[in-house]
Amino acid sequence: MTVPLSPPSRIGFVGLGSQGGPMAERIAKAGYPLAVWARRREALDPFVAIGATAAPSVSALGAACDLVGVCVVDDIGVAAICDDLIPAMQPGSLLVIHSTILPESCERLAQRCAQRGIGFLDAPVSGGGPGAAAGTLTVMCGGDAEAFARATPVFRTFCGTLVHLGPAGSGQRAKIVNNALMAANMGLAHAAIAAGEALGIERSALGELIKASSGRSYGAEIYVRLPTPQAFAIGAPLLVKDIRLLASVLPDHAGATTLRDAASAFLAAATGQDI
């Protein structure tokens, strides 16, 4: 089913957490008419205060909008939202998945959307809540070029770097690899600081040195700011999820195994569970 696609003007957003919330806020502040939905009605209040409309249901939001972004935590959450959303969306509208989920899940969603004449992009993001608030997120997109071009003005409200990587699922594959590397870098920093302490080097001094030297990485910079691995308790489960997603799509692959092994000691210390 092919339907002419026009630039989006009515935006919907589901998933108003620490990252999705600032993304939605930047969309609204850029002047786009925005509809939002959340299970907790009180979560909508800050968005209504800046001019967004509180949708009574996921299906009502889908029916009223020509681009809908979804930024919930995992495959189960995305599936539940999309089961209500896709049947309500109009032909010619566009569904964007900002969550980090299995690439195969996005491929299946793209097929469902195509059957109804709905455009589809998987567009996971990197940069966290601070990046979303500052408008500097990296957005990694999978989907066709026309859908990507249509969504680009909306993405530009909250991103600094925007990359189209290929067909549906490509954004997820890139995001999983990126986050696995982030986890591995934090794991290597964990090992390096422990080695330094074993040699009698004070932790904070070594951390400052690494940040300015050849061993530096973004993961190491975050790690050396932590008083303990447990202080990363909010972010660590998300990295565990992404390490496991990579293992799922690349079972027994040497690169995936190397990344998991490098990250495992740190993530186990941060979460209290084996990886």
SS3 for the chain, per residue? CCCCCCCCCCEEEECCCCCHHHHHHHHHHCCCCEEEECCCHHHHHHHHCCCCEECCCHHHHHHHCCEEEECCCCHHHHHHHHHHHHHHCCCCCEEEECCCCCHHHHHHHHHHHHHCCCEEEECCEECHHHHHHHCCEEEEEEECHHHHHHHHHHHCCCEEEEEEEECCCHHHHHHHHHHHHHHHHHHHHHHHHHHHHHCCCCHHHHHHHHHCCCCCCHHHHHHHHCCCHHHHCCCHHHHHHHHHHHHHHCCCCHHHHHHHHHHHHHHHHHHCCCC
Contact 186, 217 (CB under 8 A): no
Q: Active-site positions? A: 175
Query: How far is Cα 184 from Cα 256, in angstroms, rounded to an integer?
Result: 10
- Please state, in angstroms and rounded to a whole number, the distance separating the CA atoms of residues 8 and 29: 16
| Phi and psi torsions of 47, nearest 5° | -80, -40
- Interstrand relation of 119-122 and 125-126 (parallel, antiparallel or unpaired): unpaired
